[in-house]
Structure 1
Amino acid sequence: MTGQDLPAALSHQPETRRTRLIAIGLMCAAVICFSALDTSAKWLGHGMDPLQVVFARYAGSMILVSLLLNPWSHPGILHTRRPWLQAFRSLLLLGSTALNFFALQYLQLAETVSIMFATPLLVALVSGPLLGEWPGPRRMVAIGIGFLGVIVVARPGVGGMHPAALLSVISVFCYAFYSLSTRILAAYDPPETTMVYSGAAGTIAMIPVIPFVWTWPDGLSWGLMIFAGAMGGIGHWLLILAHRLAPATVLAPFIYSQIIWMIALGYLVFGQLPDRWTFIGAAIVIASGLYLLYRERVRAVPEGSARLD
């Protein structure tokens, strides 16, 4: 940046900071929605098949999204240049959601989200062979330490956590490849199109399953099913709005604020508090993820350029 450009850049700092603060607020609101969604799913999972909860989550989200995004208000929104990739991405998200809801039957909210925090680590690891974005040695060390944190949370083979933790681990793999496919699709389709396909594909895929798992809900369960669908749809919509206002490297650290809401809701709704190993493992995973984000920011800033954030 030249000396002549610097005053102009500095004049835009307040506006830029305000926009980023709004984006951060939207991101924090999104993770609150997702925490409420998981809390509802865990509650409903005690009285109905988790697949019925999955259907409620997608059907409710699809209805809500259709009110905002449809061919009449957004002509051409259903047009996609990569239909098979859209379908594959949607099924990955569906699989991740279903596995997470099954795991929530047996695990605490804080335990499942601590394992899910490993998603950015896995994305960074597989981005090399899939996207050519190879992590350097320091990032590889951070990824390895992060996965050790997941092992601390799950404690496989030592009787510390229910075997359902394996479902959360598989869910992480599904979500990581879902995230990668989302990045690829961003070059071909607008985010609104991708969001519409996510809800529609998940709902359609669950329709043949529902007759075999359906149990008639009571009033509270109906309310929670509708609430879960709304939280899923609103949460993803807030994510889209946030990423329009600020880059992912600014927003990503605030994803980890979800652990606060999951611990609070786990205690208030279910009377559960995570043990010390969950806290330790979550801290390791979060620290590793934040370091990866820091390295990403360092790589993104050209040497010698002025930094405005």
Structure 2
Amino acid sequence: MLSDNARGAILMMTGMAAFTLSDSVMKLLGQTLPMFQTLAWRGLGVTVILGLIAWRAGAFHVRLARRDRWLVAGRTLADTGSVWFFLQALYHMPIANLTAILQALPLTVTLGAALFLREPVGWKRLAAIGMGFLGVLMVVRPQAGAFDIHALYALVCVAFVTLRELLTRRVSREVPSLLIAWANGTAVMLFGLAGAMGESFVAPDLVTGPLLLATSVAIVAGYLMAVMAVRTGELGFVTPFRYSGLVWALVLGFLLFAEWPDPVTLLGAGLIVATGLFTFYRERVTRRRLHRGTPSGRVPG
């Protein structure tokens, strides 16, 4: 019989596969449907599915404090901005390269938490963050002619998602995760509808219709499985399995788009993942020290 940690790890890896599948389908849809219409259709599917789940769970009955309303609104705006920059990069970059850049998120969130939320970060994690950023530079290679506007879009997406995660940390625990996710889906749908007004309408057909449904279901499934993963297993154990998304991106990128990163990109991606795993490890050590009581004069790290 599987342990809770083992089940949590499986849920996390399956959730990352679902997210990557959703991204891959969006990349496929970008070849036939205008971007904003694709966002609107997917947003509609996500909003309906999550809305039904949230309604059954009673999430809409929770009254938010004024502070939480502002935080959720800011988080939603940050997430909407990240979606636009993500899709701009996704449509023009190999999906594995983009996914590798996004693997830097644990590093940027850790740095952001230290700078803006005053969370303790020692020199070891700061050194790991620096090495992780070196890995990002190896992926985008600004000095080797491989850096373009779409790589910049990927980095801006990382900045928006980092802001989103920092705001999430400030939201009260009483606010249901389903309610936050539903607000995000609704905002993205409205953003897509607004942008679609400037596009020529293209009706989904027998191919794009099922693909739109697939990406909607996949992104909701990914979210739900990621939430179940952290609730099933220990956070410090299951969270590193988020990096399995890079493996899925390599596989789907090769199978669907005949994309395969060059050795330098793979080395940079490996460096990002390694430093991210080290950061998770140091965070666990820090929490244990803080729980036991950190010796005077030492900065946990």
Q: TM-score, normalised by structure 2?
A: 0.89
Q: Could you tell me which residue of structure 1 aligns to residue 138 of structure 2?
A: 152
CA distance in 1, matches of 2:125, 2:57: 44
CA distance in 1, matches of 2:233, 2:47: 26
Q: Could you tell me which residue of structure 1 aligns to residue 24 of structure 2?
A: 39
Residue in structure 2 matching 1:261, options 229, 238, 248 = 248
Output aligned runs, 1:25-36, within 5 Å: 25-36=10-21
1:243-283, Cα deviation, whole Å (9 max, x unpaired): 22234322221011111111111111111111111101101
Structure 2, unmatched stretches of 5+, are 293-301
1:220 to 2:207 alignment: yes
Aligned length in residues: 289
Report how far residue 105 of structure 1 moved.
Answer: 1.4
Question: In the alignment, residue 275 of structure 1 is paired with which amino acid?
Answer: D
Report how far residue 140 of structure 1 moved.
Answer: 0.7
Residue in structure 1 matching 2:233, options 246, 253, 272 = 246
Q: 1:169 to 1:75 in 2, by over 3 A?
A: closer
Output aligned runs, 1:222-301, within 5 Å: 222-301=209-288
Q: Could you tell me which residue of structure 2 aligns to residue 23 of structure 1?
A: 8
Whether the 8 Å contact between 1:79 and 1:193 is mirrored in structure 2 is no
Structure 1, unmatched stretches of 5+, are 1-13
Report how far residue 162 of structure 1 moved.
Answer: 4.1
Whether the 8 Å contact between 2:40 and 2:190 is mirrored in structure 1 is no
> What is the percent sequence identity of the aligned residues?
28
Output aligned runs, 1:124-139, within 5 Å: 124-139=110-125
CA distance in 1, matches of 2:212, 2:111: 36
Question: In the alignment, residue 4 of structure 2 is paired with which amino acid?
Answer: T
1:208 to 2:194 alignment: yes
Whether the 8 Å contact between 2:59 and 2:176 is mirrored in structure 1 is no
Question: In the alignment, residue 168 of structure 2 is paired with which amino acid?
Answer: T
Q: Could you tell me which residue of structure 2 aligns to residue 57 of structure 1?
A: 42
Report how far residue 202 of structure 1 moved.
Answer: 2.2
Q: Could you tell me which residue of structure 2 aligns to residue 80 of structure 1?
A: 64
1:114-167, Cα deviation, whole Å (9 max, x unpaired): 000111111111112321103111111110110010000001142124431111
CA distance in 2, matches of 1:30, 1:147: 26
Report how far residue 177 of structure 1 moved.
Answer: 1.1
Report how far residue 303 of structure 1 moved.
Answer: 8.6
1:269-300, Cα deviation, whole Å (9 max, x unpaired): 11111111110110110011011001011112
CA distance in 2, matches of 1:286, 1:164: 22
Q: Could you tell me which residue of structure 2 aligns to residue 182 of structure 1?
A: 168
Whether the 8 Å contact between 1:95 and 1:171 is mirrored in structure 2 is yes
Q: Could you tell me which residue of structure 1 aligns to residue 155 of structure 2?
A: 169
Whether the 8 Å contact between 1:77 and 1:192 is mirrored in structure 2 is no
Greater mean alpha carbon deviation, residues 168-177 or residues 242-251: 242-251
Greater mean alpha carbon deviation, residues 93-102 or residues 45-54: 45-54
Q: 1:78 to 1:62 in 2, by over 3 A?
A: farther
SS in 1 for 2:207: helix
Question: In the alignment, residue 68 of structure 1 is paired with which amino acid?
Answer: I
Q: Could you tell me which residue of structure 1 aligns to residue 299 of structure 2?
A: none
**RMSD value, Cα:** 2.0
Residue in structure 2 matching 1:116, options 102, 107, 127 = 102
Q: 1:75 to 1:188 in 2, by over 3 A?
A: closer
CA distance in 1, matches of 2:153, 2:204: 26
Q: Could you tell me which residue of structure 2 aligns to residue 197 of structure 1?
A: 183
Question: In the alignment, residue 64 of structure 2 is paired with which amino acid?
Answer: T
CA distance in 2, matches of 1:276, 1:282: 10
Output aligned runs, 1:63-74, within 5 Å: 63-70=48-55, 73-74=57-58
Question: In the alignment, residue 46 of structure 2 is paired with which amino acid?
Answer: S
SS in 2 for 1:160: coil
1:15-44, Cα deviation, whole Å (9 max, x unpaired): xx7112111111111100111011011111
